[in-house]
Each structure stands twice: as C-alpha cells, then as structure tokens.
Structure 1
Amino acid sequence: MSGFDNFWAVYSNLVLSLGINGLLALSIWLTLACGMLSMANAAFMGLGAYASSILTLNYGVPYPAAIVAGMALPALVAAIMGGPTLRLSGVYLAMATLAFGEVVRIAVLNTESLTGGALGLNGIPQLTQWWHVLLALVVTLLVLWRLRRSKVGRAFEAIKEDETAAGLMGIDVGRHKMLAFVLGAAIAGLAGTLNAHLTFFIGPGEYGFNRAVDILTMTILGGINGLTGPVLGGVILTILPEMLRGLGGFRLVVNGLVLVLIVLFLPKGIWDPMRFRQWFGRKGEAA
C-alpha cells in the first residue's frame, strides 16, 4: 500500500489531468460532431476556471456551487456570442472563435483587481478530488453517448455531412449548432474548474492559442468517429510529454514527430471503429 501512496503522491496531478484533458477533448468533439471547427474551448475553459476560482477564493462559495458557476458562465457567453458567430463556417468560424479567445485573454489582463491580471490567481483551494474528475468524465460520456444515439445526435450527423441538405429535411440547423456550441462550452468550463482547483494557480497565458490547438489535437489524434477517440487522444497527449521528459531539449521535437507520424498514417485518428471492423473481418476471412 505504501508503494501506491508514493505513486499517488508523485503522479496524482498527472493522473487527474488525464480525465480533465479527456473532458476538454470531448468538449470540442461535440462541436466537431455538428460540423463546426470552433477554437473557443480554451477560452471557455478559462472562463470556467476564473469564475469558479474567484468564487471559492474570494467569497468562500462551496465547491459544488462553484462548479455550477464554472459551467454556467461559459455556457451563457457561448449562447450570447453564438448568434452572430455560428453563421460562419469552416476556417472563418475558427478565426472568429480564436479572436474571441484573445478578447477573453485581454479582458482578464485588464481586470487586475478581480482576476490578478498578468500575475494570475494564486492560492486557489485544492478542492478537486479524484472522484470529482472520474464522476465528471463518466457523466459526460454517458450524456454524450445518449445524445449521440438520440434524434438530436442524428441531426448533428446530418448537419456535419451536409448542412444545406439537413436544412431541407426540416432540421433546425441554427438551433442544433447552438446546442452543440453551448454544451461544449459548459464541458470546457467544467474542465477548467476542476483543473483550477487542482493546480492552485491559473493565469491568462494558460488559455490562449497554444491550449486551443492542444485541445483540437487531442480530438483529431484520438479520432472523432466515437467518444473513445477524444478521451484516448487526451490520455496520449498528457502522458507522451512525461514519457519523453528524459530527452531534455529534444522532447518537444520527438513529441511533434510522433504526432506527425500518427496523423500521416492514421488520418482518421487512432480510434477508428471502421478500420477495426475491416481488420477483424480480414482476419476472420483468412481463418
């Protein structure tokens, strides 16, 4: 038992980060499942982190209420900005949501009395426990699994394949896009809340362009054809840098090379159920 205690004392933050990054990957998977390339999830994560941290650090709000606030604020902001923004598509939507992330960063920097500005917030209560992360990940997976197999999930798939055809079939494209956008923002805010109360400190630099690209990479790397892929991608991109830490300055080079090779040879991601079915089918025929 002492061995496990030693392991947990050293690697507990890393283990919990696996679940948090899985939540982030699922948050952007939801928008990709509706055919939207949104890069705002890092900003939504930051909104959730700051909202919940300010409440617990400055006002002594109970953690469950802070979690709700950390999900509600990004969802509300997404609902407000979604009206004009979701009329865009493709790279234009990506550019608009990246610009939103920059607006959030500048707003945080210029509200120093509330957010700590460039110095960030320090001394955030460490309230996140392992079961918080596990429960959040399991509930999110169950909700998205149920959503994917519902009428709404089928509408998402239709919109992703052909937005115009989906509209002609009677699907309210705008409403479904808004739903995916708001739900994705709430999940990203949940991840931000859990992460902030795990690491003691948050700063505006943590939720910028680099984090947005990391979140997208997790999902693309794992695969967007199922819920397993994004979680797997989050696990890989969390563990890989730690496994390569012994390489020192070459760690990022090898990390990037591994990702490039995976994208080149597995363009649909690591987790591709169709590829597995074809592979097992060929093995069955050979037998």
Structure 2
Amino acid sequence: MSALQTFWDIYGNLVLSLGTNALLALSIWLTLACGMLAMANAAFMGIGAYTAALLTMNYDMPFSVALAGGMVAPAVVAALIGLPTIRLSGVYLAMATLGFGEVVRVAILNTESLTGGALGLNGIPQSTQWWHVAGAVVIVLLVLWRVRASKIGRAFDAIRSDETAAGLMGIDVRANKMLAFILGAAVAGLAGALNAHLTFFIGPQEFGFDRGVEILTMTILGGINSLIGPLLGSAIITVLPEALRGLGDFRLVANGVILVLIVLFLPQGIWDPARFARWTRKGGKRHA
C-alpha cells in the first residue's frame, strides 16, 4: 500500500493529466469527425479554465457549479463565433480559429484585474480528484459513443466524406457542423476547468498556439476513425516526455523523431480499424 501511495505522490498529477488530455483529444475529434479543421480548442480550454477558477475564487461557487460554468461559457462563445466561421473550410477555418485563439490570449493578458494578466491566477482550490477526471472521461466517451452510433454520427461521417453530397442528401450541414463545434468547445472547457482545479495555477501561455497544435497532434496520432484513437494518442503525447526523461537534453529530439516516424508509416493514426481488418483478412487467407 505504501508503494502505491508513493507512486501516486510522484505521478498522481501525470495520471490525472492523462484524463484531461483525453478530454481535449476527444474535443477536437468531434470537429474532425465532422470534417472541420478547427484550432480553437486551446482557447476554449482557457475560457473554461478561467471561468471555473473565477467562479470558485471570487464567488465561492461549489465545484460542480464551476465545472458547469466551465462548459457553458466556451459553448456560448463557440455558438457566437461559429455563425461566421463554420462557413469556412480547410486551412481557412484553421486560420480563422487560430486568430480567435490569439484574440482570447490577448484578452486574458489585458484584463489584469480579472484574470491576473501575464501573471495568471494563482491559489486556485485543488478540488479536482481522480474520480472527477475518470467520471468525466467515462461520461464524455458514453455520450460520444451514442452520438457516433446515432443519426447525427452518420451525418457527421457523410459531411466529412463529401459536404456537397451530404447537403444533396438532405443533411443540414451547417447545423451539424455547429453542433460538433459547440460540443467540442464544451468538452474542451470541461478539461480546462478540471485542470485549473488540479494545478493551482493557470496562465495565458498555457492556452496558446503550442497547446492547440499539441491537442491536434494527440488526435491525429491516435487516429480519428474511432474513439479509441484520441485516447491512445493523448496517452502517448502525455507519457512519452516522461518516459524519455532519462535522455536529458535529447528527450525532445527523441520525442519528435518518434512522432514523425509514426505519422510517416501510419498516416491514418495508430488505431485504424480498417488496417486491422485488412491484416485479419490476410491472416485468414494464409491459414486457409
């Protein structure tokens, strides 16, 4: 028991980071599943983190209310900015959402009386427990699994395959894109709220361009063809730097080389059901 306690004391935050990063990967999976390359998830995470932190620090709100606020605030913002931006596609949508992320970062820097500016917010209550993170991941997975198996999920797949054809089939492309964008923002906000009450401190540098690229990398690395992919990708991105810590200054180089090799040789991500099915068919033919 003492060994388990020692492990948790050392790696507890890393284990909980696996959960919050899984939520972030799932948040961008939603938009990718609908054919949208949106890069605003880091900003939505920041909005959720600051909203939840301010609710507990300034207004003494219960943790559950803070989590709800951390989800609602980015969802509302996503609904507002989604109206003009979801008409865009591809790199143009990515550029627009990256610009929104920069607007959020600058707004945080210039509202020192509320957000602490460049110094960030310190002394956030450590309310996040392991079961909060585990419960959030399980609930989000169940919701997304139901969405994927529903008419909405089939509409997402159709839009990702061919937006024009989906529209001709009677699918409301704009409404489905807006739904994916808003749901993704809410999940990213939940991850931010949980993370803020785990680390005691949040600052604007945590929700910038680098964080947005990291979130996208998690999902692309794991694969977007199933819900297992984002979970696997987020686990690798979270654990790999820690596993390579013994390499010292070469840790980041080794980290980058591993990621590049995976992307080159597994372009559909590590978890690709279609690839597994092909391997199974080939194995069956050889045994036959």
Coarse TM-score class (shorter-chain normalised): over 0.9
User: What letter matches 2:142 in structure 1?
Assistant: L
User: What letter matches 1:222 in structure 2?
Assistant: G
Q: Deviations over 1:65-106 (max 9, x none)?
A: 000000000000000000001111000000000000000000
Once residues 246 and 54 of structure 1 are traced to their aligned partners in structure 2, the CA distance between those partners, rounded to angstroms, is 38
Measured on the aligned residues, the alpha-carbon RMSD in Å equals 0.6
Match of 2:184 in 1: 184
Residue 153 of structure 1 deviates from its aligned partner by 0.6
- Quote the sequence identity (%): 72
Match of 2:8 in 1: 8
Q: Deviations over 1:202-222 (max 9, x none)?
A: 000000000000000000000
Match of 1:71 in 2: 71
Once residues 85 and 68 of structure 1 are traced to their aligned partners in structure 2, the CA distance between those partners, rounded to angstroms, is 25
User: What letter matches 1:99 in structure 2?
Assistant: G
Give the TM-score taking structure 2 as reference length. 0.99
Q: Deviations over 1:124-182 (max 9, x none)?
A: 00000000000000010010000001001101111101111111111111100000000
User: What letter matches 2:173 in structure 1?
Assistant: V
Once residues 269 and 257 of structure 1 are traced to their aligned partners in structure 2, the CA distance between those partners, rounded to angstroms, is 16
Once residues 197 and 69 of structure 1 are traced to their aligned partners in structure 2, the CA distance between those partners, rounded to angstroms, is 13
Residue 190 of structure 1 deviates from its aligned partner by 0.3
Once residues 201 and 246 of structure 2 are traced to their aligned partners in structure 1, the CA distance between those partners, rounded to angstroms, is 26
Aligned length: 287
The question of 1:224 aligning with 2:218 is answered no
Once residues 198 and 232 of structure 1 are traced to their aligned partners in structure 2, the CA distance between those partners, rounded to angstroms, is 22
Residue 282 of structure 1 deviates from its aligned partner by 1.6
Match of 1:249 in 2: 249
Once residues 280 and 7 of structure 1 are traced to their aligned partners in structure 2, the CA distance between those partners, rounded to angstroms, is 39
Once residues 4 and 286 of structure 2 are traced to their aligned partners in structure 1, the CA distance between those partners, rounded to angstroms, is 44
Match of 1:163 in 2: 163
Give the TM-score taking structure 1 as reference length. 0.99
Residue 11 of structure 1 deviates from its aligned partner by 0.5
Deviating runs (4+, > 2 A) in structure 1?
none
Task: Flag structure 2 segments of 5+ consecutive residues without an equivalent.
Answer: none
Instruction: Trace 1:1-287 onto structure 2 (pairs within 5 A).
Output: 1-287=1-287
Once residues 272 and 162 of structure 1 are traced to their aligned partners in structure 2, the CA distance between those partners, rounded to angstroms, is 20
User: What letter matches 2:147 in structure 1?
Assistant: L
Once residues 20 and 236 of structure 1 are traced to their aligned partners in structure 2, the CA distance between those partners, rounded to angstroms, is 13
User: What letter matches 2:14 in structure 1?
Assistant: L
Residue 280 of structure 1 deviates from its aligned partner by 1.9
Once residues 174 and 274 of structure 2 are traced to their aligned partners in structure 1, the CA distance between those partners, rounded to angstroms, is 30
Once residues 217 and 253 of structure 1 are traced to their aligned partners in structure 2, the CA distance between those partners, rounded to angstroms, is 16
Once residues 280 and 127 of structure 1 are traced to their aligned partners in structure 2, the CA distance between those partners, rounded to angstroms, is 46
Residue 278 of structure 1 deviates from its aligned partner by 1.3
Task: Flag structure 1 segments of 5+ consecutive residues without an equivalent.
Answer: none
Once residues 117 and 251 of structure 1 are traced to their aligned partners in structure 2, the CA distance between those partners, rounded to angstroms, is 32
Q: Deviations over 1:47-71 (max 9, x none)?
A: 0000000111121110000000000
User: What letter matches 2:3 in structure 1?
Assistant: G
User: What letter matches 1:163 in structure 2?
Assistant: E
